[in-house]
Amino acid sequence: MTDYITELDVPKLETLLGYTFNDKLHLLTAMTHRSYLNEHREAEQDHNERLEFLGDAVLELVVTDFLFKKYPEKPEGELTAVRAALVNTVSLSESAQQLGVNDFLLMSKGEAKDTGRARQYILANTFEAIIGALYLDQGYETAADFIAQQLFAKTELIVEKRLWQDPKSRFQELAQDNVSVTPTYETLSQEGPDHDRVFTVGVFLGKELVAEGQGRAKQEAEQKAAEAAIAAKGWL
């Protein structure tokens, strides 16, 4: 094993993940963001995008098989929506954070400073890369076991709370169930130049402004407003 492996505390990360890798380079590669190689030309490992590609395919198959067997009565469309909620960027990045993966990411100093949405994507992609690394290193069953441990417990909450629906659809259904009113959306303001515009949208129940949301597109702002409205009404 060469010295570059020491850039990553492999034993500690293996303990957190619960797996010991036969080839440590698989794990090192999974943790390496493309930006890291721009600042470390001496690094012998590749970045993690190929492993992410592989892990994404394994993840989809494992989750699809699980949902197909768990919910034999659900139609294809609903199963697809539940799967999307289980493996979206927010869900995967949360699982990666809970594992402590964030402390082991290898990336450039510039990328390391960004802790917002960009970090979410990096964490989600790294989670998929870890799956790809486990698949390469130890096979399908080990990768499937990891996915089951990290994600399957979320499924019942997603189904029970209908979190597989987008926020607008969910809020409309909840509003009709609770107050028999269909929500409406109104653009309250828009700021910034055309190429960098931010919209503020309000969601109303009748004349009541329930919540507001912001986004770079009206649709994004509406979804955020609906999400905030669900929380504001306590309809979680």
Q: Please pick, among 56, 111, 137, 212, the residue that the annotation labels catalytic.
A: 56
- State yes or no: is 128 an active-site residue: yes
Residue 28 parent element (H or E):
helix 24-30
Beta-carbon count within 10 A of 148 CB? 13
- State yes or no: is 56 an active-site residue: yes
- DSSP strand pairing (184-191 vs 198-205): antiparallel
* Region of 78 on the Ramachandran plot (φ > 0 left; ψ -120 to 50 alpha; else beta): alpha
CA atoms lying within 13 Å on the CB side of residue 72: 1
Residue spans of beta strands (DSSP E) within 104-207: 184-191, 198-205
Q: Please pick, among 52, 128, 137, 212, the residue that the annotation labels catalytic.
A: 128
Q: Which residues have a catalytic role annotated?
A: 56, 128
